Amino acid sequence: MEERRQQVVDKLINALNEVQVLKTALENISPDEIARAISILKQTMDNAHPVEIAQALRHLDPEEQEDVIDPLTPEDSSEVILALRDVDENASIQLVEELTKDELSEMLNNMEPDDAADIIADLPEGDAAEILRLMEKEDAESVQELLKYPEDTAGGIMTSEYSAIGEDLTTVEALKYLKDNPPHRQIFYIYVVDNKNRLLGTVPLDRIITEKENRKLGDIALPSVVTVLPDTDREEAALLVTQYNMLALPVVDEQDHLLGVITIDDAMDTLQDEATEDIYKLAGSSDDELLSRSAFKVAQIRLPWLFICLAGSLFSGFVIRMFSGTLAQAIAIASFIPAIMAMGGNTGLQSSTATVRGIATGYIPLTQISKVIFKEMRTALIMGLVCGLLMAGVAYLWKGGQIALGVVVGTSIFLAVSLSANMGVMIPIIFKKLNVDPAVASGPLITMINDITGLLVYLTMSTILIKHIA
């Protein structure tokens, strides 16, 4: 599959290059040759999937991208732009900016409201207003309604394309309604509403087909157990879709009026975006920095975290300086400082990463925090004991059978691993309680804290027992 996709991409690029070469030599090339090259390009795109065309567009400049989609119908070009948005959001924004307002408005008319709203939200306010004015009235109104909600909320990822039918209609009348008013997207559920558009329940399409003709939808509707408000966090809403194995999640207001639905494809995209964002935050970075930002902007993103690491390193150096007398009396103590810091930092990073991901996916509910903490404490004690005994043996043999050094190193490793593991689980939880993204608690921050903690424990114990080590 990947090989075939690359072949299509190569064909698209080669066909486009031929067109571009001919266009730059119009005075010396016959119209027939230009028409032949354009025909090759169009034929190649007719046999390609929108995703494959989008892959090719990534290798081209915005002006060249416009030449590629120009021969396409508005419907096909809208699919290509959406595919490009999934592949490279920054490239899709640049392409949209190259299109005329008339071209763009026509493409947006062929998109589902939620997709069109995402594209319009990236435009300058003045351009967005002009595009909405050029769109068909009904489509523009649907998009404007969705634009009211922030992009990180359930309202921001819902679509207004759904099938809602009154409770008094029979199954036969419902089928006729669907034929007369075909939906623009795949039907997952039929939503049953009262005369005030309040959600009463759902009916699977197959049940409408198989039920008796005179059954009213209100009598066979299954109550909607799970709904969300439009201001619900989008990640929370997406998790509900997966937890309840739903194909679409209704979004309602506080009076249960049906506003829209979150489909499973949008839920999956949301979870993927959130997971990517969390992974980058673990490293103190962002998901679009490499391709869509300048070197200066990338440095601005990364430098604060490097400053945190630098501050931690300086503090660690200060701690070592505080115990310089101890180190001067027994140089063997310094040999184990890298191991102490590495074990503490890595153990804390393991715990914090697992905790952050557990909170993000809903696997660790805040109602069971105490259970998670106590389990992590037991795990930390086991890991600390194993690592401590191992390093105690190494230290004992290293110093020619000196028990005191083995005790200090082993105990320090035990305490460093135990404390770091517990801090790795507790700090993200504290951040979550404070409504701060727990992902920022991991990576450089948690490593720095645990490095310093392990170092303090180790050098303090060494100072206490120095007379037995020196």
Q: How far is CA 84 from CA 8, 32, 78, 89, 134, in A?
A: 15, 32, 10, 7, 23
Residue 378, pLDDT score: 82
Indicate whether 411 pLDDT > 60: yes
- The pLDDT-based confidence of 255 (bands split at 50, 70, 90) is very high
Provide the pLDDT confidence category of residue 192 given band limits of 50, 70 and 90: very high
**Which of 333, 312, 314 has the alpha carbon at shortest distance from 324?**
333
Going 383 to 385 to 390 to 395, the CA torsion angle's sign is: positive
**Residue appearing with tokens 């007369």:** 180
Mean pLDDT of 217-227: 85
pLDDT band for 280, please (50, 70, 90 cuts): low
For tokens 């114990």, name the residue.
461
Q: Are the C-beta atoms of 245 and 402 separated by less than 8 Å?
A: no
pLDDT in tens, 47-59: 677 777 777 777 7
pLDDT of residue 26: 42
Is residue 410 packed enough to be buried (19+ CB in 10 Å), middle (13-18) or exposed (0-12)? buried
- Give the HSE-up count for residue 255: Cα atoms under 13 Å, Cβ half-sphere: 6
pTM of the model: 0.64
Percent of the chain at pLDDT > 90 equals 7
More confident residue, 183 or 239: 239
Q: 159 near 263, Cβ under 8 Å?
A: yes
CA distances from 379 to 320, 359, 419, 451 (A): 30, 19, 11, 20
28 pLDDT band, cuts 50/70/90, is low
Instruction: Compare 74 and 241 and report the one with higher pLDDT.
Output: 241
Average pLDDT, stretch 337-352? 77
Q: What mean pLDDT is predicted for residues 55-64?
A: 74
Neighbour-count burial for 182-210, b at 16+ CB within 10 Å, e otherwise:
eeeeeebbbbbbeeebebbbbbeeebbee
Is pLDDT at 100 greater than 70 in this prediction? yes
In this structure, of 236-250, 295-309, 375-389, the range with the lowest mean pLDDT score is 295-309
Task: Decide if 41 contacts 12 (C-beta within 8 A).
Answer: yes
Q: What average pLDDT does this structure show over 196-211?
A: 88
Looking up tokens 């119908």 gives 73
- Cα separation of 231 and 347, whole Å? 37
CB-side exposure of 312: number of CA atoms within 13 Å? Answer: 21
- C-alpha 280/C-alpha 36 separation (Å) is 47
DSSP class per residue in 247-297: SEEEEE-TT-BEEEEEEHHHHHHHHHHHHHHHHHHHTT--TTHHHHS-HHH
Q: Spell out the domains of the chain, with CATH numbers in brackets.
A: 2-149 (1.25.60.10), 163-280 (3.10.580.10), 289-469 (1.10.357.20)
pLDDT grade for 371, boundaries at 50, 70 and 90? confident
Instruction: Report the pLDDT value the prediction gives residue 22, as an integer from 0 to 100.
Output: 42
Task: Give Cβ neighbours of residue 276 (< 8 Å, ≥ 6 apart).
Answer: 287
Which of 31-35, 377-381, 434-438 comes out lowest in average pLDDT?
31-35
Question: What count of Cα atoms within 13 Å lies in the side-chain half-sphere of residue 364?
Answer: 23
Q: Residue 103 and residue 74: Cα distance in Å, rounded?
A: 8
pLDDT-derived band at 199 (thresholds 50, 70, 90) equals: very high
What local confidence, expressed as pLDDT, does residue 23 receive? Answer: 47
Confidence of residue 158 (pLDDT cuts 50, 70, 90): very high
- How many angstroms separate the CA atoms of 8 and 16, rounded? 12
